[in-house]
Structure formats: C-alpha cells, structure tokens
Amino acid sequence: MTKLKLGDLAEDKPVRLTIELPASVHRDLEAYGRVLAETTGGGQAVPLIAPMLERFMATDRGFRRHRPRTD
C-alpha cells in the first residue's frame, strides 16, 4: 500500500481563492488526488491544496516558532 503524507481529509467550511499554478504542478495535484482516493477507498479525486498547505505549515518548525498565537 502507498504511504502518503495526507490521510483522510476533514470537511471544513471553504474559503474561495484563485491561484495560478504551473501546468506540471496541476497535473501532479490531479495524480496525487487520484492516488489518495484509491488508497483511502474513495472513488474520486479529492481536494488537496488546503490539506497540503495545512500539513506543510504544521510541520514547518520555523513557522511554528514565529506564527502568531490565536488561542
């Protein structure tokens, strides 16, 4: 079984953003979504950008040290 950095994705109220990505990054995101859907038992590709950014920021030690506290 493939070990991915993202697991099951929690539902949350979305905020709409518009971004431009290189075509290669877009293709890789689509492919990653398909692999994630297959490994988690889902039948379709899933939204990835928000969970990937969330995980990236959560695991960035420098950011964690300097981010503003919200609690």
Q: What is the pLDDT of residues 2-59, one digit of tens each?
A: 676 666 666 777 778 898 999 999 999 888 888 888 887 766 666 788 888 888 888 8
Domain assignment present for 11: no
Domain assignment present for 5: no
Residue 67's pLDDT band (cuts 50, 70, 90): confident
Domain assignment present for 58: yes
Domain assignment present for 33: yes
Expressed as residue numbers, the domain containing 39 is 23-65
Q: How much is the pTM?
A: 0.61
Domain assignment present for 6: no
Count of domains for the chain:
1
State the amino acid at position 17 in one-letter form: L
Domain assignment present for 48: yes
Domain assignment present for 2: no
Domain assignment present for 61: yes
Six-digit token pair at 58? 């959560």
What are the C-alpha distances in Å from 67 to residues 8, 14, 56?
Answer: 26, 22, 13
Task: Give the span between the Cα atoms of 37 and 8, in whole angstroms.
Answer: 9
